[in-house]
Structure 1
Amino acid sequence: MTLPASLLLVLQVTRPCFTKHSFETFCHLVAGMAAQTGRRTVTGMLTGAGLSRLWPHRRAHAFFSEASWDPDQLGLRLARAVVEALLPADAPILAVVDDTLLHRVGRKVFGALWAHDGSGRGKDKLGFGNTWVICAVVVRLPFLAKPVAVPVAARLWRGKATASRTDLALEMVHDLAALFPGRTLHVTGDAAYHSGKVADLPPSVTFTTRLPRNAALSAPTPPKTNKRGRPRKKGRALGSLTAIAQTATWRLAVVERYGRMEFVWITERECLWYGAFKDLPVRLVLIRDLNSTRPYDLALISTDLVSPADDLIERYGTRWPIESIFEHMRQDLGVGQARNRTRRAVERTVPFGLAVYTIVVLWYAAHGHHPADIADRRARQPWYATKATPAFSDMVIKLRRTIIAARHIHNPAGQPGPDEIAAVIRAWEAAAA
């Protein structure tokens, strides 16, 4: 089958991760996942690639359960491609960590357990399935108004059988820091991500997270007194966050949060969060909305002692695009629909789907974007009257059309006939439906 040359150019960055045979399978399954409009099971990817009658189904299943390739290595190759293609040279790298639950059914599914499900129903918000800790790099594309996150690594959390979700996230951060030893790496996550192991991160890595309301903070470590006894590791207790906010000096600032410029009140101070970060010096930043009557609305804690507090607030605000990954990977790519159960297959299928997500963004940024895409979308769906920038679904549809066109037009140098043009148009309409 014919794959678009532009897609093959993007896929070439992953070539060292595979053998010749498995790379061919990988390329076609990537195209099949992007081109498929139905369920993205393993056989669904094969059907989307147009190979369900040409390849044995075992070839696709064996790629996940038996083939020799490492999803961590694949993610790092894509991370390098993202940083080199979508970030300015020597600019700091912003990474976001979070976790999501992909529902599964069956007692024999590897790693499936009851865990917190943020989108779950009921008071407890529990769901049964595989919990994935995901690390994404935040980039700004010239044709988008808001930053976007692209996944570069994922680890399966298995409860007590594995490390904590924070530890898994920090392992991926260590891998990113080793991949870019000369770059500053800013990491952010929600309130669930804090650990004493943050102190073991390289000096080029900073960590920013939301502070729980019941956090016990203290003043920085006092100087040694040269008296007998063990020196104090932390200063006096600072009290509750409400008490700190009531006695603090506030200043008005303009920051970008969630794609909007907002006026907020800010106060900051250096301190210790000994219960989580031990004696690691950190910075507390309290934020209060302009017309808020509460002592504070958001508390951030960061190991970055250099950047302005305004930058820390904006940095934490760019954590939100990872939530868009969770939405689009399910709705537009069908990540998590594969029904495999064995350990290697389960540990590889979701990282493969996230790699396809990153490949779609890389392809669209390098080869797929055209200003006429928005006009075409408005013409087909006129209710999007205010749509001004492409969404991830538009990127997938554009790649799907390109893949279909490459199948129908076997000789790109020749002029397609009327039958070929009509067939491509019908295929585009079916793909966009």
Structure 2
Amino acid sequence: MSTFQCVSTFQRLLLNFLPCFTQPSGESFLALATAWALAVGPRTVTNLVRTIGRSASKSHDAYQYFFSGAVWAMDEMWRILFNLILSSRLLARDAVIELAGDDTLVHHTGRRIFGAGIFRDAVRSTKKRVAYAFGHNWVILCVIVPIPFCPNVFVSLPVCARLRPKPPKIKGRRKQKAGATKTTVELLAEMAALVASWAPERRFRLVGDGAYASLAAQLPENMTLISRLRKDAALYAPPPTPRRKKPGRPRRKGKRLPTPVQRAKSSRLSWKKTELVLYGERVVRLLHSYQAYWYQVCPNEPIQIVIVRDPEGKHEDEFFFSTDLALSAKAVVEGYGHRWSQEVTHRQAKQQMGIDDPQARLQPAVERQAPFCLLILSLVKLWYLTVGHRSDELLAWRDAWYRHKEGVPFTDMLAALRFGSWRLWFSRGSGLAPQHSKILRPLLRALARA
């Protein structure tokens, strides 16, 4: 008998995506999506078919074809997921939608894999040594949502992803033709514009690290940016008001200002002692903010710059900027801190959801399987934040050494979905007596964490 059953609340989330497929492809989607969430072991198509078990109504090749040849659009599925997040009431209707964008390396091995190459591995790199690895470079855009039952704790839900393939190698050198391969910044700008078009009446705030600071002048009108500022950034005062009857064109730049590092060393600065919530902890920092022009990044509009200093001197000064001049210095720093939830999401995709497990080599399958994994990851989080956390069984999930933490690990979210689904199978399809099902509950709980 197959163990392939899922809780009805998660199944209803999957049914929202059926308009993206034909009837045969829709059946494959429901089976593969449920198997991806419930599978124990690598998320290869072969292991997913094993998870489906006797419930599989198609051959192994048919499920492979779903990724490599079936007609469906990943962007349409991202749009439906984004609308599900907005309709879940995790975000207030008038609230600014926070987005986080970054790229990550998904390791792979093998020859002739589309888009694979040697990229910088940010996880293993240090300040003194840069590490490289072979794999796919994915640019991911996430929506940052608060956990409703955990104050000051945020999670990231991927809502779009793009593959940045390695440029082809020609005569021993890598040459990138114009428009052939987009950069990570261009891909993130493309995804940000796409997501903003799904809700043109809403306001967005994109958070990215210093590598994406150049997006300041490339975003839609309803989107602002928070990012890191270069320590040696060339900053200028506003251009002076042009005088009448003076020959020549008016000045485009104002007076050159000190770099952020030079300004931070000044003894004349006025610092504001502020209590911040960073990475789930309350800390005290000294903040200094001012406005300037950074023509290399945002030539037409001024930016708000925030210098952060540790009053105890344990951490170096940090520099941030925002294109939203109405945003307070505290909101800029805390908003950038929300970006860490995306780094956690990257780790969850690799360690718990098996984003690097598929062995696809052809372009259609490569461009679909990793985003498909991120889609299921978002759905598991969305299910838990809206429905799954209400189960009484979850009170026993928290280990004694984790009960002081306010957040909920993704492993507990995934385990809750598995436990509820497997318990449903034992209660309905196994034919076991109720007392026997109760005895097996500790075993199911242990397997759900595997």
TM-score by structure 1 length? 0.91
CA distance in 1, matches of 2:299, 2:212: 15
Q: Does 1:308 align with 2:315?
A: no
Matched with 2:308 is 287
Contact conserved, 2:114 with 2:165, CA < 8 A, in 1? no
State the secondary structure of the residue aligned to 1:90.
coil
Higher mean displacement: 215-224 or 202-211:
215-224
Contact conserved, 1:33 with 1:49, CA < 8 A, in 2? no
Contact conserved, 1:268 with 1:285, CA < 8 A, in 2? yes
State the secondary structure of the residue aligned to 2:247.
coil
Match of 1:11 among 10, 14, 26: 14
1:220 CA displacement: 2.1
Matched with 2:271 is 250
Contact conserved, 1:234 with 1:279, CA < 8 A, in 2? no
Superposed CA deviations along residues 194-251 of structure 1, whole A, max 9, x for unmatched, are 22x5324232210110012222111123323343323322211112212222143222
Q: Does 1:136 align with 2:161?
A: no
Name the CA shift for 1:268/1:382 in 2 (closer, same or farther; >3 Å): closer
Matched with 2:157 is 150
State the secondary structure of the residue aligned to 2:17.
helix
Contact conserved, 1:10 with 1:362, CA < 8 A, in 2? no
AA aligned to 1:431 is: A
Give RMSD over aligned pairs: 2.4
Contact conserved, 1:130 with 1:156, CA < 8 A, in 2? yes
State the secondary structure of the residue aligned to 1:248.
coil
Contact conserved, 1:209 with 1:302, CA < 8 A, in 2? yes
Match of 2:68 among 65, 69, 75: 65
AA aligned to 2:104 is: T
Higher mean displacement: 30-39 or 114-123:
114-123
Q: Does 1:102 align with 2:122?
A: no
CA distance in 1, matches of 2:216, 2:99: 15
CA distance in 1, matches of 2:391, 2:19: 34
Contact conserved, 1:214 with 1:240, CA < 8 A, in 2? yes
Matched with 1:269 is 290
Contact conserved, 2:416 with 2:448, CA < 8 A, in 1? no
AA aligned to 1:233 is: R
1:49 CA displacement: 2.7
State the secondary structure of the residue aligned to 1:182.
coil
Matched with 1:184 is 203
Matched with 2:39 is 36
Superposed CA deviations along residues 112-148 of structure 1, whole A, max 9, x for unmatched, are 1111111126822211110001110111122234111
Matched with 1:20 is 23
Match of 1:93 among 75, 90, 97: 97
Matched with 2:221 is 203
Name the CA shift for 1:99/1:39 in 2 (closer, same or farther; >3 Å): same
Superposed CA deviations along residues 330-359 of structure 1, whole A, max 9, x for unmatched, are 111111210101001000101000000111
Matched with 2:183 is 164
1:178 CA displacement: 0.8
Task: Flag structure 2 segments of 5+ consecutive residues without an equivalent.
Answer: 167-175
Q: Work out the percentage of aligned pairs sharing the same amino acid.
A: 32
Match of 1:398 among 413, 416, 423: 416
CA distance in 1, matches of 2:235, 2:402: 48
CA distance in 2, matches of 1:83, 1:212: 34
CA distance in 2, matches of 1:254, 1:353: 38
Q: Does 1:432 align with 2:438?
A: no
State the secondary structure of the residue aligned to 1:49.
helix
State the secondary structure of the residue aligned to 2:361.
coil
Contact conserved, 2:293 with 2:301, CA < 8 A, in 1? yes
Matched with 2:170 is none
Contact conserved, 1:120 with 1:127, CA < 8 A, in 2? no
Matched with 1:119 is 123
CA distance in 2, matches of 1:374, 1:402: 10
Contact conserved, 2:185 with 2:212, CA < 8 A, in 1? yes
Contact conserved, 1:220 with 1:270, CA < 8 A, in 2? no
Higher mean displacement: 203-212 or 386-395:
386-395
Higher mean displacement: 88-97 or 116-125:
116-125
Higher mean displacement: 321-330 or 259-268:
259-268
Paired residue total: 428
Higher mean displacement: 361-370 or 285-294:
285-294
1:385 CA displacement: 5.4
CA distance in 1, matches of 2:231, 2:100: 22
Higher mean displacement: 364-373 or 150-159:
364-373
CA distance in 2, matches of 1:40, 1:200: 37
Q: Does 1:175 align with 2:182?
A: no
Name the CA shift for 1:121/1:373 in 2 (closer, same or farther; >3 Å): farther
TM-score by structure 2 length? 0.88
Superposed CA deviations along residues 9-42 of structure 1, whole A, max 9, x for unmatched, are 1112222222222122112111111111111112
State the secondary structure of the residue aligned to 1:78.
helix
State the secondary structure of the residue aligned to 1:280.
strand
Contact conserved, 2:138 with 2:164, CA < 8 A, in 1? yes
Contact conserved, 2:213 with 2:229, CA < 8 A, in 1? no
AA aligned to 1:12 is: L
Q: Does 1:343 align with 2:363?
A: yes
Name the CA shift for 1:135/1:51 in 2 (closer, same or farther; >3 Å): farther
